[in-house]
Structure 1
Amino acid sequence: MSAVQSPTAFGPSQALDDATIRARTDAYFNRTRDIVTRFGDRRVTYALFVRRPVLSATRLMTEWLDNVACARGISLTHEVMFPEGAWVGAGEPLVYITGSFAALADLETLLLQKLGPPCVAALNAYQMAMALPKVRFLAMEARHCAGFEMQEQMAYAASIGSLAARSEGAMGFVGGANDATAGFFGQPAGLGTMPHALIGYAGSTLRAAEMFHEAFPESDLVVLTDYFGREVTDGLAVCRAFPELAAAGRLAVRLDTHGGRFLEGLDPQKSYAALERNTPGTIRRYRSETELRNLVGTGVSAAAIWRMREVLDEAGFPKVRIIVSSGFNVEKCLAMADAHAPIDVVGTGSFIPDRWSETYATADIVSYDGEPRVKVGREFLLRRAGDRAAAGT
């Protein structure tokens, strides 16, 4: 199954009716459509691009465009200039769209919404996967998204970033946290075991693990260990209660320690010592404040991960995996790589772009009835589109 298979046959890629499109698009595009319809249509070519480097992640946009064209009964062509997952430089046209000006004028707003954010998020996902190439990632973007359309875009982006990273030997994102987007990762369903709320309900970490295993005995057991602030104590208690799962590599502890405190048993000095024992020299290089926090600070630091690995190995559980979450963006992944942190899986939604101003895609018409023409300053868009327009394509 393809890593970028469409997860559903409905949702954001579904065509909208003309009234809904008109209501959601910018007024001047609607008025342009009205004017062009009144004074005579022309065949135009649009160039769509993003102002910053990205990975090509265009399929959600082009699928939606095709669905709209089908619903409207219009003929158009789109030429994707880069395969999915390919590096695209700042300002390079990602897609050329050719067709009726009257039919395309009111689509620009929605097309751009579906282009920029996935391309930037795909690059973020790729960079994270390449920073930790031997680590599997789980896309947990849904809770951070403003509705399902954004959720679909971000999950798709993670799959595209992984597609690029896997071509270079990384493991990348292997699944998502819910069923609706699982198809992007070639999975039949979402991945995940328990939230903190289940541990609160159960009254203890061990009891929550027992409940989960009784309800889902065929599933691997991944247990959160930070609810009571006893990551080490509760993690070992679960391992001892399920020795067969631990020995078979079917048990994992998930570290999600709150950023306001250290992992159980650590403090600043002990965190430095944990890194010095396991990755000598890492902490001695110059560090920014953020790097230091990721390495030896509170929350899920590299020192915390190393300490958890130490206690698991010392207790006779070398096959118990460590899953980490909490703020794992590109920068934090790079810090973990530098510390050689023994991570098996990263759960993250932090591939979502931090600065949305960088996701803004732009469109310009670059030919009218085959004549190359674009506003001053955007002539760089004419090179390929102009040649094709002159050839009558």
Structure 2
Amino acid sequence: MSTKFNLDKRIFDDYYGADYFKKTKEILDKYKPNQQVTMQWFQRKNNTVICGIEMICELLRDSGVKNLIVEGLNDGDIANENEPVLKITGKYSDFAYLEGLIDGILSRASTVATNAFRVKNAANGKLVLNMNDRMDIYSTQQIDGYASYVGGISSLVTAASFEYIDLEANLNGTMPHALIASFDGDIIEATRAYKETFPNNNLVSLIDYNNDCVTDGLKVAREFKESLYAVRLDTSKALVDKSLQDLREEKDELHGVNPTLVKKLREELDKEGYNHVKIIVSSGFDEEKIKYFEQLNTPVDIYGVGEALTKNKVSFTGDLVLIDGKNQAKVGRQNISSNRIKSIKYI
């Protein structure tokens, strides 16, 4: 198993380990130096995409401890509530300081992988763009990119997101509102500058800047014709696009990016022969919103998803369940046999 996660070496100086784990290690080294334990990790949700096992194996390998028995699921496997996903057997003092890190790796990676899997399925095979870089601190981009890939989404927008993936970085950014603002709100000039600066990129124009997506979508289509790959709508949920303001709404269904707006835009583009122009939508999209759009046969080609990839946290817990091969666990926890977890050679 090769190294690909580039782990911070300070881990092995107890830099990230919680103090109570460090103290437990010292106590056991003194009083129980030869004790063998089995620690078991699980979570409490059904249909969770497990991710982080490969990183944990690298963590154990880099720790230098060679006599641990490791059993686990594979990254990408689906687990249900209370099902063991990882077991480590050996001297607890050899890996006690890693317990919290293992909890955190499994939790973060499995959260993103599970959300990516569900969003991808909701999109019915349409391309999903991971735009989560702006929703969290930059230091999560590497593990989030890997977990997104495990969950089925490999369209990423930062180089860091590809660091742990065996794929060439194929960045999928479009343009921000800041570019249009820099050209005094002129969407044509901003799009032209993008095209001339990056002539080999797919030309995507952001068309909600003036809150008039249909007008501006047609404007850029007429100007750039066959060279225009797509238009992106990112309307705030606080606004109703100008093209819809004469319509009556009941429950804010015309606010933000909505099916009525997308259908109207598609219809107007097609009327003028711009059938080739794809429609990208972003702003608040999650599994449920994508399902809603798909149920209404909304003509979306690409979904941009951000915060939804880190919502609905999946939390993992590790428990000692065997001491020297005998059952020993806190009340409510026990060693659970599983024919799904397999022996893992981490060295």
Q: Same fold by TM (over 0.5)?
A: yes
Mapped to 2, the partners of 1:182 and 1:29 lie a distance apart of 33
Q: Which letter maps to 1:207?
A: E
Which of the pair has the greater relative contact order for Cα pairs under 8 Å at 6+ separation?
A: 2
| 1:298-309 equivalences in 2 (<5 Å) | 298-309=255-266
Q: Percent identity?
A: 29
Mapped to 2, the partners of 1:259 and 1:178 lie a distance apart of 26
Is 1:145 paired with 2:136? yes
Q: Deviations over 1:287-337 (max 9, x none)?
A: xxxxx54xx331111111111111111121001000111011111111111
Q: Of 175, 181, 187, which residue of structure 2 is paired with 1:194?
A: 175
Mapped to 2, the partners of 1:362 and 1:120 lie a distance apart of 14
Q: Which letter maps to 1:245?
A: S
Shift of 1:270: 6.2
Shift of 1:74: 4.0
Contact 2:54 2:75 in 1 (8 A): no
Q: Of 225, 237, 257, which residue of structure 1 is paired with 2:207?
A: 225
Is 1:87 paired with 2:81? no
| 1:1-393 equivalences in 2 (<5 Å) | 10=6, 13-19=7-13, 21=14, 23-39=15-31, 40-53=33-46, 54-59=48-53, 61-70=55-64, 73-81=65-73, 83-148=74-139, 150-162=140-152, 173-182=153-162, 184=165, 186-203=167-184, 204-246=186-228, 251-267=229-245, 269=247, 293=252, 296-356=253-313, 359-379=314-334, 381-384=335-338
CA change 1:242–1:182 in 2 (3 A) is same
Q: Which letter maps to 1:264?
A: K
Name the SS for the 2:169 alignment partner: coil
Shift of 1:230: 2.5
Mapped to 1, the partners of 2:330 and 2:35 lie a distance apart of 17
Q: Deviations over 1:199-255 (max 9, x none)?
A: 111221111110111011111101101112222222212111212314xxxx10000
CA change 1:354–1:174 in 2 (3 A) is closer
- What TM-score do the two structures reach when normalised by structure 1? 0.79
Mapped to 1, the partners of 2:155 and 2:319 lie a distance apart of 36
Contact 1:141 1:155 in 2 (8 A): no
Q: 1:285 is matched with which residue?
A: none
CA RMSD of aligned residues (A): 2.6
Shift of 1:47: 0.7
Shift of 1:147: 3.6
Q: Which letter maps to 1:340?
A: N
Q: Which letter maps to 1:252?
A: A
Identify the structure with the greater helix proportion: 1
Q: Which moved more, 1:340-349 or 1:234-243?
A: 234-243
Q: Deviations over 1:136-156 (max 9, x none)?
A: 0011111111341x3333322
Q: Which moved more, 1:325-334 or 1:232-241?
A: 232-241
